[in-house]
Amino acid sequence: MIDQFLRGPQGLRAGGKHGSGFTWVVDTNVMREAVLTLTADEVAASLENSDESAADASGFPVPKRPILSSACPGWICYAEKTHPHVLPHLSRMKSPQALTGTLLKTVLSRTLGVSPSQIWHLAIMPCFDKKLEASRQELTDASWRTPDPQTSESQSQSPVRDVDCVITTRELLTLASSRGISLPNLPLKALSPSFSPEFPDKTIGSFLFSNSYSSKQTSAAGTSGGYLYHVLTAFQSRHPNSEIVAQRGRNSDVVEYTLMSASGEPIIKAARYYGFRNIQNLVRKLKPARASKLPGAKTGAANRRLQAAGAGSGMDYAYVEVMACPGGCTNGGGQIRIEDAREANSSIQPASDEPSGQPQKPSPHEQRAWLARVDEAYYSAESNSEAESEHQLAQTSVVEKDARVHEVLQYWSSMTEIPLSKLVYTTYRKVESDVGKDKNAASDTARVVELVGKIGGGW
């Protein structure tokens, strides 16, 4: 349906004064497969290196254990502003949205011989905070572009974003409405190849548009892309007859996992923390212990040992999947609400006697039922083929997929002549607060706040 809307003859091309549409529509799940593979590699590297200051072959520091997922921009914003002590734990991996942007801008600019600024990349996400992610200065061509020695610094172009625009699923509905297009009435069938030119690089094109990487989420993988699940299954594939054991924490948004060997020994431990209330407990556990300043308190090496013990108090996880929204990404703030669905689809009517123009606010029960429908839709692309439940087949599948991802990533780096680390990794920074500073002095912060107030969003 989204493909028909963005590229098809009855979608955007049929509405608006320019009659324009998109050239290619890429499923973000394809690049998520790449992120999942690299995340499992990152966790393996951290377990192999006991040195906290270790770096990989590319020179990027390996995150401290436990590695915390970094694909949720709401969580990253919170960490950078309020808990900089967790930044060394954050996964270096770009999110699927960011990695897709980097891939498209690098490959298309190279193969078509055009500037990255001439390629416009739109991302459709379940989350308003993904707009913040797209605006990060780390996610521009400045992070991977090779400077032209013949171009002076003063003449160089401003950085070009890897992702030019982000709209949420709810805003996709608004866009269709503004063009007079009914999404439910669009044809639910694949577009003819004639509506899109062949992708200019065959190897990358076969990876991006391969059916083997279509969206196939399972309830075991969770509602946020399956980061934790892939890490566990990747390690499970290396340990025959091992078993994943789950244990619910204080609520349904905290779950701990242990991969147990055939002999009953723990191989790795991991966890899932969703929602800011649970995240606060997580970062509290990771906070280094402060040494006492009372007379007779331990100092020097003993003090450092105390801090190290505090940093790992009860945290023997190898990896933690962290998401800001309770329930995960299917409950994202940009998702289509039940009120939106009622308005868009005449078959869904509010059970209310209120006058038109005053839609009934859904009850908590209706909202929970709607979220359950969203989760069901998220899992509905799951494969229904028979023998998929066989344990050995699932393990082989992980190994084969990871090998294919590594092959394509190395090809991407080779054809663009850019080191892979520059393409797939990003960095994080502490965001300084201006609380307590001279408020009379003119500052960039004041101007930024004023601008943010005008556009209605921002950090």
What does the pLDDT read at residue 343?
79
Show the tokens assigned to 308. Answer: 């190290």
| Secondary structure class of 2 (helix, strand, coil) | helix
What does the pLDDT read at residue 381?
65
Q: In angstroms, rounded to a whole number, what is the distance separating the alpha carbons of residues 63 and 337?
A: 37
Q: In angstroms, rounded to a whole number, what is the distance separating the alpha carbons of residues 374 and 368?
A: 10
| Secondary structure class of 260 (helix, strand, coil) | strand
What does the pLDDT read at residue 308?
43
> Picking from 91-100, 121-130, 271-280, 306-315, which range would have the lowest pLDDT averaged per residue?
306-315
Tens digits of per-residue pLDDT, 338-358? Answer: 988 887 765 444 444 555 555
Q: Which residues partner with 124 through β-bridges?
A: 167
Contact criterion met (CB below 8 Å) for 106 and 114: no
DSSP symbols for 287-320: SPPPPP-STT---HHHHHHHHHHHHTTT---SEE
What does the pLDDT read at residue 9?
92
Tens digits of per-residue pLDDT, 28-59? Answer: 999 999 999 999 999 999 998 876 666 766 66
> Does residue 224 carry a pLDDT above 70?
yes
Tens digits of per-residue pLDDT, 279-314? Answer: 999 999 998 876 666 666 555 444 444 344 334 444
| Secondary structure class of 61 (helix, strand, coil) | strand
DSSP letter assigned to residue 378:
H
Alpha-carbon separation of residue 163 from 89, 138, 408, 439 (angstroms): 25, 12, 21, 34
Higher pLDDT, 443 or 248: 248
Which residue's structure tokens are 């308003």? 128
Q: Which residues partner with 122 through β-bridges?
A: 165
Contact criterion met (CB below 8 Å) for 321 and 273: yes
Q: In angstroms, rounded to a whole number, what is the distance separating the alpha carbons of residues 420 and 405?
A: 13
Sorting pLDDT into bands at 50, 70 and 90, what band is 453? low
Dihedral sign, Cα of residue 217, residue 220, residue 225, residue 229 = negative
Alpha-carbon separation of residue 381 from 209, 215, 219, 370, 384 (angstroms): 16, 6, 11, 18, 9
Sorting pLDDT into bands at 50, 70 and 90, what band is 323? very high
| Secondary structure class of 171 (helix, strand, coil) | helix
Show the tokens assigned to 296. Answer: 């007779």
If one counts every other C-beta atom within 10 angstroms of the C-beta of residue 46, the result is 22
Q: In angstroms, rounded to a whole number, what is the distance separating the alpha carbons of residues 399 and 397?
A: 6
49-75 mean pLDDT:
83
What does the pLDDT read at residue 216?
65
Contact criterion met (CB below 8 Å) for 458 and 452: yes
Q: In angstroms, rounded to a whole number, what is the distance separating the alpha carbons of residues 237 and 361?
A: 48
Residues 6+ apart with CB under 8 A from 343: 359
What does the pLDDT read at residue 265?
94
142-148 mean pLDDT:
84
Show the tokens assigned to 453. Answer: 């107030």
Show the tokens assigned to 107. Answer: 């490959």
Task: Please state the domain extents for the chain.
Answer: 2-147+158-289+307-333+377-424
274-278 mean pLDDT:
95
Q: In angstroms, rounded to a whole number, what is the distance separating the alpha carbons of residues 266 and 296?
A: 40
88 preceded by cis ω (within 30°)? no
206-233 mean pLDDT:
84
What does the pLDDT read at residue 346?
56
Q: Which fold has domain 2-147+158-289+307-333+377-424?
A: Fe-only Hydrogenase (Larger Subunit); Chain L, domain 3 (3.40.950)
| Secondary structure class of 404 (helix, strand, coil) | helix
Q: Among residues of the chain, what percentage have pLDDT more than 70?
A: 76
Q: In angstroms, rounded to a whole number, what is the distance separating the alpha carbons of residues 204 and 212?
A: 14
Tens digits of per-residue pLDDT, 12-28? Answer: 998 778 888 999 999 99
Alpha-carbon separation of residue 414 from 41, 102, 145, 204, 420 (angstroms): 20, 15, 14, 12, 9
Higher pLDDT, 412 or 451: 412
What does the pLDDT read at residue 18?
82
Show the tokens assigned to 413. Answer: 């780096």
> Does residue 246 carry a pLDDT above 90?
yes
> Does residue 219 carry a pLDDT above 90?
no
116-127 mean pLDDT:
96
Instruction: Calculate the average pLDDT of the chain.
Output: 83
Sorting pLDDT into bands at 50, 70 and 90, what band is 272? very high
Tens digits of per-residue pLDDT, 360-411? Answer: 788 989 999 999 999 988 888 644 443 344 444 455 578 888 999 999 999 9
| Residue from 133, 211, 141, 186 nearest 15 by CA | 186
Contact criterion met (CB below 8 Å) for 409 and 33: no
